[in-house]
Amino acid sequence: MKFPRIQMAALVAASALALSACSGGGPEAAPAADLTGEPDYNGSISVLTKFAGEPLEAYFEDVAAAYQKEHPGVSIELIQETDQSIKDKIRTLTASQALPDVYFTWAGNWQENYVNGGLAADLSEVIAPETEWGSSFGEASLDAFAVDGKYYGIPLYNNGKFMGYNKAAFEKAGVDVPTNFDELISSCEPLRKAGYEPIAFGNKDGWPGLHYLGQLFAYNVPAEVLHADFDPQTASWQNPGYVTALEQYKRLVDSCTDTGAGSNGVLYTTAQEAFSGERAAMYYQEVLEFDSVAGEKKLDPEKFGIFALPAPADAAGDPAAIEGSPEGYMINARSPQAALAADFMKFATNTQNAQTLSATPYGQPSAVKGAVTEETSSKAVFEGIEKVNEASQLVIWLDTVTVPEVADAWLAGGEALTSGSSTPAEVIDSVRAASESAK
């Protein structure tokens, strides 16, 4: 999820200002998108997804084809990007004031940039929890996309981060699933002696390391302190748990990965392939990835297990927290086809499509109630979402939950800590400075 987010915030603001100059008012004066009118079934919409590549690409292609079969006069342009390429694409589209009618978003500050820039339609009339469409989603998923009591996002799927492990590798090495962080570190040497890289890790894009840090922060820092520190107006970043978590992360990288300080030069997909190819015993991954690493021509699903990154035995934070967040879509506030866009997204999230999305080969656990079951989803996806639902809280990704200046400081600091060019104390000092400048 690495991205120059200071640039992104500036681009959103500049785009909103340019559009408001044309209409004679600020972003708050922009005309409200008409979401409740009759959809124009002879109209066209554009949709920017994060589903490029196999096996995900076919999902929106099939949904669009089915929708157009029901409404032959409708034209749907799909712009399909990957997890990494979508950041560059949306930057270009925002800068050129050409945002599609529907576009992907992460929760947290990422989404808020578009809301505050007047570029995201207020969907409350059609998707608030008490509406027919809104009542089909889990309320926590809807709340993740709420800003100041209004609903701006359409949650497509839930997500959480877990350690995937090869059961056969653990059996060969004679190790059990670790129950605390020290046991995780202790398991690495026996796994290495058994012929495996203990934990596959690629941090070339910066955000994989932040996923470890976000989870470790939740374990080592009291929840109320952590959430206060996400906002520069209330942040201090003084809790000693941050340094403890940074030290734990560095210990894991140095002790449990073969790439160690060189992990910044390894692609995330390379690590994923090492695990699915049974060269690595563990790989820290999102629920969304489970069906990509275990299945046909990949790791045998019977060998695939998951567990939460183990909390330290003396965790001062919340040992039952899970890092994760739903991901979804927004409708362009200035779309002339907002009603059609909303109608298409209702179709994309109906029960049938939600179950299809949750099933193999997609394995994207829909945010629609009842879509993820033992019958509709793989065993691992069902287990992962059960664990997400049982978590005491979900901690949103570190590089999207906070403001751009602080997110960039964490990205740079995480990479420096990984390579050994900065100490934990130096990293947290840089974050404090960024937070102060963002007030």
Edge-to-edge strand order for the sheet containing 44-49?
75-80, 44-49, 102-106, 327-331, 154-157
Q: What local confidence, expressed as pLDDT, does residue 404 receive?
A: 87
Q: What is the mean pLDDT of residues 403-407?
A: 91
**Position 284 pLDDT exceeds 70:** yes
For domain 5-159+326-371, the CATH class is alpha beta
- The model's confidence at residue 306, banded by pLDDT at 50, 70 and 90, is very high
Look at residue 269 in the predicted model and tell me its pLDDT: 93
pLDDT exceeds 50 at position 193? yes
Q: Could you read off the pLDDT of 200-222 as tens digits, one per residue? A: 999 999 999 999 999 999 999 99
Spell out the alpha helix ranges (H) of 152-303: 167-173, 181-193, 207-220, 223-229, 241-256, 268-276, 290-293
Model confidence pLDDT, tens digit, residues 415-426: 999 999 999 999
Euclidean distance between CA atoms 418 and 220, whole angstroms = 19
pLDDT of res. 11:
58
pLDDT of residue 20: 41
Residue 297 has pLDDT above 80, yes or no: no
For residues 229 and 432, the answer to whether their CB atoms sit within 8 Å is no
**pLDDT at 295 (0 to 100):** 73
- Going by C-alpha positions, the residue among 38, 433, 401, 386 that lies closest to residue 218 is 401
Q: How many angstroms separate the CA atoms of 351 and 346, rounded?
A: 10
pLDDT band at 2 (very low <50, low <70, confident <90, very high): very low
Closest CA to 1 of 331, 401, 426, 420: 401
Q: What is the DSSP letter of 85?
A: H
Tell me the pairing of strands 146-147 and 394-395.
Answer: unpaired
Q: Is the model's pLDDT at 259 over the cut of 50?
A: yes
Phi, psi (rounded to 5 degrees) for 38: -70, 125
Beta strands per DSSP E along 269-361:
280-286, 304-307, 322-323, 327-331
Mean pLDDT of 236-244: 98
Each residue's pLDDT tens digit, 327-382: 999 999 999 999 999 999 999 999 999 999 999 899 999 999 999 999 989 999 99
pLDDT digits 0-9 by tens, 372-394: 999 989 999 999 998 988 888 88
Provide the residue type at 153 as one letter.
Answer: G
Predicted pLDDT of residue 84: 78
List pLDDT tens digits, range 110-161.
899 899 999 999 999 999 999 999 999 988 889 889 999 999 999 999 999 9
Q: Are strands 154-157 and 327-331 parallel, antiparallel or unpaired?
A: antiparallel
SS3 assignment, position 156:
strand
pLDDT of residue 10: 53
Instruction: Indicate left, alpha or beta for 24 from its phi (over 0: left) and psi (-120 to 50: alpha).
Output: left
Q: Is 420 left (phi over 0), alpha (psi -120 to 50) or beta?
A: left
Q: Are 282 and 225 in contact (CB under 8 A)?
A: no
The encoded tokens of residue 288 equal 């969304």
CATH number listed for the domain at residues 161-323+397-437:
3.40.190.10
Tens digits of per-residue pLDDT, 86-114?
A: 988 998 999 899 999 999 999 888 899 89
pLDDT tens digit string along 5-56? 445 555 564 454 344 433 333 344 445 678 988 999 999 999 999 999 989 9
In this prediction the pTM is 0.80
Measured CA to CA, the distance from residue 333 to residue 330 in angstroms comes to: 9
The C-alpha atoms of residue 407 and residue 413 are separated, in whole angstroms, by: 10
**Residue 411, pLDDT score:** 96
The DSSP symbol for 266 reads S
The pLDDT, as a whole number, for residue 125 is 95
Distance CA 92, CA 163 (A): 34
- Count the Cβ atoms, other than its own, within 10 Å of residue 91: 17
- Residue 380 φ then ψ, to 5°: -70, -45
Whether 281 shows a pLDDT value over 50: the answer reads yes
Domain(s) of CATH 3.40.190.10: residues in the chain: 5-159+326-371, 161-323+397-437
